[in-house]
Chains A and B, each alone.
Chain A
Amino acid sequence: MSDVEVSGVSKRYDELWAVKRVSFTAPAGSFTSLLGPSGCGKTTTLRLIAGFAALDEGEVRIGGRPVDDLPPWRRNLGVVFQNYALFPFMTVFDNVAFGLRRRKVPRGETAERVAEVIDLVGLPDLAQRYPRQLSGGQQQRVALARALVIRPEVLLLDEPLSNLDAKLRAEMRFELKRIQRETGVTSIFVTHDQEEALTLSDQIVVMNLGTVAGAAAPKAIWEQPESAYVADFLGIENLFPGTVGAAAGPDEPVAVSVDDGAAVLRAAADRAPGSAVVLGIRSGDIAMRRSEGAGAAEEPNFLDGAVREFTYVGSAVVYQVDCPDLPAPLIVTAQQDFAIGDRVRLRLPPESIKLLRPEAPPDRSGDRP
């Protein structure tokens, strides 16, 4: 098994930097996800690692060895494509055996290894079928088998689950995890789906406009995202720019005033007074009840509001609540039923409020990365 070190990698297409000074390390045997919206450079980064495109600056090392001078056919990497890219005129067997035949593996061993890997990815006996005769999920498994049979140093996966329907996607997610654990192959997985990244990865690298916006283990990135951008992408619904005020004392929550609003919220975090932050809180961390009295909320971190809209999502109800003290409606998840127009009182626990680094979008043009 080999680790992958991507250091300061940049790639320019015409006037824009598709990838700009991207650095991260995928430890040997780990599962790393590159997460980001379309156009963030995650697929370009993968293609640079695979060698399908030449990088303009930086270096990629696989197992400590620089690979930038190696063409893709000498890198010994397995690649699974979003559209599977199975050879349409070859049977499943020939597809999977393709890499072994290029390596001049003897016939008997080829047949053995193909059978072994087909078993590993959980394919039934379809060796003589053609790709078009298979379902999407089966094609997916063939693509995986074809990439794994060569015992690659690294497995690169480019949104392999995005063409499957929801049920199959969930199933393949478990399968992918099992196969990665059984083979122990270092894997780099490109996705725009935060749930996929969270469930599969040892490490998540969040990308934004060609740069790395944050990298951490799923639990860390979920509980304390580095920046407002990462928080937004990981589904923290409520984000408000604010300014830190004075703390009441050491180890006391700091008071943060929301920009363009009257609300002042306390957060269990340590920040210098006067610094600009983004307040973030998940919809599920907010407690909501009907407000009885007419008096305004006096206690800290209580806000009054009125239900504006709701959507039923099965396990809960998601409400949009207008708060006069906030510049935008608050998203709240609750189990109880409220009707549109209901007056509600909300509690935002200080320990659930995250203070995030506001971030200016990176500049993609210019001569230097």
Chain B
Amino acid sequence: MSVGRAWGRGSRFPASLATPVLLAFAVFIVAPCVMLLVKGLEPAAETGAWPDFTNVLGVFDSKVGQQALNRTIRISLIVTVICMLAGYPVALFIARCGPRWRGLLLAVVIFPFLISAVVRAFGWTVLLGDSGLANKGLIALGLIDRPIALVQNEIGIIVGETHLLMPYMILSLLAVLQRIDPNLRHAAESLGASPVSVFWRIVIPLTLPGLLTGTLLVFSLAMTAFATPFLLGGGRTPILTTLLYDYAFTLFDWRLAASIGIVLLVLGILFVTVHRFVSSRGMRSYG
């Protein structure tokens, strides 16, 4: 008996090992998607035929739906850009640290994952409230006269989601930063590149794959986040996920809720497709 045969192509062993996961996939991912499509495209009148797109298109017609869609895209983009700009220096710093400090800093970066969304949102509500540390600090600095609204609006959602999603960006970047051959930097330096030039011409292009992974993760997670925008956004700043919740559990209109689900799904697929196109063009030379 050879090991190669047991594990090689045509062997049934690996396939049988993957079966439980594939089954779970079918039950918990494919089936809900099918149900979502069935419900969302259900005809409004008893006589209509499936699929009926009026509900889905209706999301764009209503003012609240339109606003939620725009807000979702806007917030997701802003959060992605902030995570990119703020996360890059942090990742760069951690990558240059010695192994002991690196471990400690990584733990700090991952820490938000360990706190429940509710506790985290409550913390931000306290910090960003009218008499919170943020407002008091801004007043003390003389930048504002009286407290400004930092929660129960888009600012609150952006702060909360940035806090939640920053680790994904930092970890994606760190994965590529730590793999960079230090000789590449030395080679560039010996050829006359100053550290600033090395950063823009060598380090940035080499970390592009990590940057792309990070944006994909952060954007799609920002778009589909629920608890954080629900708790920090208040009732007057609905985004697609919170609007979906309202339709399903306040109005009990499952068909409308499913339509929003379809919009989110299409948006996600659209983003991934554009992302893949950009990546494959940008990555052509990376091999």
Contacts and interface: CB of A to CB of B under 8 A. Distances in A.
Contacts of B208: 89
A89 B206 contact: yes
Interface in B161-217: 181, 183-184, 186-194, 197, 201-202, 205-206, 208
B100 to A, nearest CB: 14
B142 interface: no
B186 A85 contact: yes
A60 B107 CA distance: 43
Interface stretch (A74-82, A179-187, A233-241, A248-256): A74-82
A41 interface: no
A305 interface: no
B190 A77 contact: yes
A73 B287 contact: no
Interface string A56-76: 000000000000000111111
A338 interface: no
- What class of interface size applies to chain B in its complex with A? 20 to 34
B47 interface: no
Residue from B189, B201, B208 having most chain A Cβ neighbours under 10 A: B189
B191 A98 contact: yes
B286 A102 contact: no
Given A73-B192, A89-B205, A89-B206, A81 B186 contact: yes
B2 interface: no
A232 to B, nearest CB: 31
Nearest to A76: B192
Contacts of B188: 87, 98
B197 A102 contact: yes
Residue from B191, B193, B201, B287 having most chain A Cβ neighbours under 10 A: B191
A72 B186 contact: yes
A76 B181 CA distance: 22
A85 B183 contact: yes
Given A50-B186, A87-B184, A89-B205, A99 B191 contact: yes
A15 to B, nearest CB: 16
B192 A87 contact: no
Given A83-B183, A85-B186, A99-B191, 17 more contacts: A52-B186, A71-B194, A74-B192, A75-B190, A79-B187, A81-B187, A85-B183, A85-B184, A87-B184, A87-B202, A89-B206, A89-B208, A102-B191, A102-B192, A130-B287, A146-B187, A147-B190
Interface of A: 47, 50-52, 71-79, 81, 83, 85-91, 98-99, 102-103, 130, 132, 146-147, 150, 156
Interface of B: 181, 183-184, 186-194, 197, 201-202, 205-206, 208, 285-287
